[in-house]
Structure formats: C-alpha cells, structure tokens
Structure 1
Amino acid sequence: MSEERKYWVPALDKADRVLSMIAQEPGENKLIDLSNRLEINKSSMFSLLQTMEALQWVKKSSKDTYALGTAIATLGSSIIQKFDLHDAFQSEAIAARDRLQETIQLAKRMDDYILYMGKVEALTPVRLLSEPGMRLPVHATALGKVMLAQLPESEWLRLYPQTELLPMTAFTIKDREALFIQLKQIKEQGYALDDQEAVVGFRCVASPVFNQAQEVIAAVSCSMPLHQWETKAAETQQEISRLALRLSEQSQ
C-alpha cells in the first residue's frame, strides 16, 4: 500500500465522487441514478446522501434529484474571496469581454479537477453553465489542460494512473497517451483548445497565469458557440493570451 493510501478514508472518497457528479449534473440524478453510475450500493448511497443533506452539502428537490447545497457554496465563496487574482480578473476581463463580446472565465486547478473562480458574462442569449464554485475534469477543459501542461510529466502520471479517461462528451479525450501528447503541444504553443470536449457545440481557448516563481496558479479562457468560433478564433486566442499575461504581471 502506498503512503498516500495508508490513511485513506473510503467513505470520504465516495462522498467526493458523489459531490463531483452532482456538481457536474445538478438536479439530474436521483439516489438510484447515483448508486448505479458510481457503483455504490443503495444502502451506502442512502447513508451518504442523508448525511450530506443534513450537513447542507447537498439538497434534494421535490423530484428527488440532488444539487449542491448551501454549505458547499459557502466554502467555494470563501476560497474565491481569498484568491488574490479574483479582483484583478474582474477588472481586466471586462475589457476583454467587451472586445470579444464573449464570456471570459477564470479557474484554478485542484488535482484532476478545475474550480471555476470567476466569470464575466457576455450579453448574449447563450449562457454558459460554468458558475464560480463549479468543478469540471481537467482533461476535458482547455483551462485544465493549459494548467496541467505546465507541470512535470511525473505529475501527469500521478493524476492519471489509469490509461482510460472518463469522457464528458463524445469529443472528450479518452486515452491518457493522447492527452499527454496534446499537453506537450500545449506547453510549446502557450495556449490550449477545447473542441466540444466539455460542452457539445462550444469551443474554448485558455492561457495560463503564472506567479513570480513562474508557477502556474490559474488560467483564463473564452468559450463560444461553433459558429462564432469560425470568425473569432485568432482574435480570441490573442485576447486571452494578453489577458493571462496582464494577470501574470499583476501577480509578480
């Protein structure tokens, strides 16, 4: 048994998996759905959900489906408030949003997930679901891939011991080696793309934000529908790279 797993608490691991699925699909899954999809028996799932509901980690709707609760929102909010780049992002991203007329996002990596920290919404009928506090898998997002690409390959292997990756859409990278090849390309070019890998019908470009020690601390991105991407791709990549550079300079 590895040192990392020596003091592992299986119940917490299950709770984390449940919360992750609920965060990705709020209001979509009932107890039986979560039990079947996560392969956790109904009795254990019932106990987990009852406990998490009492702690306000999750809330159950009138249709018996689950969403994240107020306690999780409070925790996420406290992280966001203490994140140094949040105020700078809100200020800088507005100008980028206005030039592109598209939504701009800020995220931080937490192991193999990204946590959305900020969002400046475009005034369009199409609204992205990536609210601050929401988590998505690193390998399925441009934000996640561009942050992961800055790390040593040993960290990639630690985060992805399995060769198969869970897809979010039919376009998500499903093979670890294919992901690693793409990460090397991302490191060279300085930005990452997400081609309908997180949300079907949307493309995204992201660039990394560095601190004074040249460690990646966050990433910024812009997402848009496919028909918009065809005419805005180059402009958007340049705008997001400039935004990331300005935020990096402010974190020095």
Structure 2
Amino acid sequence: MKPKYWVPAISRANEIIHLVARYPGKFRLIDLSQELEISKSSIYSLLNTLEHLSWLRKTEKETYTLGPFFGTIGTLYLHQFDILDAFLAEAKRVVTIVDEHIQLGRLIGDEVYYMAREEGSSPVRLVTDPGNRFPAYASGLGKVLLSQYDYDQLKEVLTETTFEKKTPSTISNIDELWEELKKAKQQGYITDEEEGAKGFYCVAAPIYDSRNEITAAVSFTMLASSWKEKKGLATQEIQKLAKVLSLYENT
C-alpha cells in the first residue's frame, strides 16, 4: 500500500533514475516510456526536468546516463558525517566566545548548500536553514567557497548565473565578484555586509582538505549592532574554527 501523501511524479522520476543507473546509455525517451509504461508526454516533461537539474544527461545518441548531480551529491554524502560531527562539536565551543550564529556550507554549482548551524543567543531569524541553498555570489559563505577558482574557472561556474539583487549591496556582476575573491585569497576570509539580506553581516573562512583544496566553509552571521562590536573577534574566531575543521578534512 502506498503512503497517504504519495507524489506520483517523484515516484516516476525515481523509477527513471534507477533504470538509467542500471543501464547507462541504453534507453532513449521512447524506450523509457515503453519500459516503465509512462506516456510519452509525461516522460518528456520528467526527462526534461531531470536533465535541467543535472540528474540525467542526454548523450549524442539521444540515450540517457546519470548526470553530474549524483557525483556531487555522492561526494557530499560520503563527507558529510565527519565534517558535520566535527562542526557540531567545535562550533559549540566557538559560539560561547562570540555568541552569534555559525553556519557550515559547501558549494554545489553556483549555490551554497547549507549543511548545519550552531546558534548563539541572538533571537534573529536567518534566511537560510540547513538543507537550503542560496546564490553563492550573494553570501559570505558562497564568496569564500568561490575563491578556490581563478577568473576563467569562475566564469565557467557562473556561466548561467543571473546576478539578482537581493539587497542594494548585492554584487552585480562577475568582475565585481572577482575583486572580492582576490581579497579573500589574500586575507583568508571574506565579509558579507548586507549583500544577502538587509541588516545581516557575515564573515566566512574556508575549510581545506589534504590536497589544499577548499571543500567547505564556515561563517558567523549577525546584525549591524553586533557587527560593529564583534567584527574583529568574529573574524579571528571563524578563521581559527576553519583551521580546526580543516584538520578533520585532512584525516
């Protein structure tokens, strides 16, 4: 018996993904339609959506394979437990020093994927919860994660990105972003002053693995009143936390 709140479209998408995973490059649209007994009109929409999300990739022969999304998400799945456990343990200690919200995130495409948060005593409600995504160009976490790229790589990653203004202070284009990233590369951290949300300030630092590649990042987020008082301390402590978490990524 199916669960009460069953979503048929998701169930059909799951069937498609499982079949393509077992037989990559074998099935065309018509083949999938016949094999799974899904109408051509319905499966066309499903395949188009899955391809757009990078869950599937269409080959030159019009057959389907799994898309790059699963490579990214698989890597995140394998890494999430160690870094999450380390973050939850270490962030508790750092929050007692600065008493502001700390977030952990990774980069997926041109977006930040928020993995976890340790909250300070501030009652302020953040616009990003664990599990959410947010444009990388418009956040401290995102910018410091993008700092791993050179200019040409950055253009490739953001080739389809629309620089939507979240606030009047949001970065407007790739060249403006690049100037910010050059600062991050030099100083080891980056700030976000009301770029993602009005009234919110952040400072973020990168987490490195054993190959000296940025795999994740952490940030403090606070209101303007706290920023004036705690910016120096928060900058110092978020860099310390990032270095400690990098040790976990190197094990």
Q: CA deviation at 1:163?
A: 8.8
Return the letter of the residue paired with 2:186.
E
8 Å CA contact 1:164–1:176 kept in 2: the answer is no
Among candidates 196, 214, 231, match of residue 216 of structure 1: 214
* Residue 228, structure 1, aligned to residue 234, structure 2: no
* Residue 183, structure 1, aligned to residue 221, structure 2: no
* Residue 251, structure 1, aligned to residue 249, structure 2: yes
Among candidates 130, 133, 136, match of residue 131 of structure 2: 133
Partner of 1:198: 196
Among candidates 89, 112, 115, match of residue 113 of structure 2: 115
8 Å CA contact 2:145–2:214 kept in 1: the answer is yes
Q: CA deviation at 1:13?
A: 6.3
8 Å CA contact 1:80–1:117 kept in 2: the answer is no
Partner of 1:95: 93
In 1, the alpha carbon distance for the partners of 2:123 and 2:131 equals: 22
Deviations 1:84-133 (A, max 9, x none): 30000000000111111101110000010000001001122212232110
Structure 1 residues 139 and 230, CA, compared in 2 at 3 Å: closer, same or farther?
Answer: same
Q: CA deviation at 1:165?
A: 1.5
Return the letter of the residue paired with 2:197.
V
The answer for unaligned runs of 5 or more in structure 2 is 1-46, 55-72
8 Å CA contact 2:110–2:161 kept in 1: the answer is no
Return the letter of the residue paired with 1:160.
L
In 2, the alpha carbon distance for the partners of 1:80 and 1:234 equals: 35
In 1, the alpha carbon distance for the partners of 2:160 and 2:146 equals: 16
TM-score, structure 1 as length reference: 0.68
The answer for unaligned runs of 5 or more in structure 1 is 1-8, 17-74
Partner of 2:164: 166
Return the letter of the residue paired with 1:242.
K
In 1, the alpha carbon distance for the partners of 2:161 and 2:248 equals: 38
Partner of 1:30: none
* Residue 151, structure 1, aligned to residue 189, structure 2: no
Deviations 1:187-246 (A, max 9, x none): 111101111111100100000000011110000000000011001111000000000000
In 1, the alpha carbon distance for the partners of 2:144 and 2:80 equals: 23
Task: Give every structure 1 segment of 4 or more consecutive aligned residues whose post-TM-superposition deviation is greater than 6 Å.
Answer: 13-16
Among candidates 93, 102, 105, match of residue 103 of structure 2: 105
* Residue 124, structure 1, aligned to residue 122, structure 2: yes
Partner of 2:82: 84
Among candidates 4, 11, 16, match of residue 49 of structure 2: 11
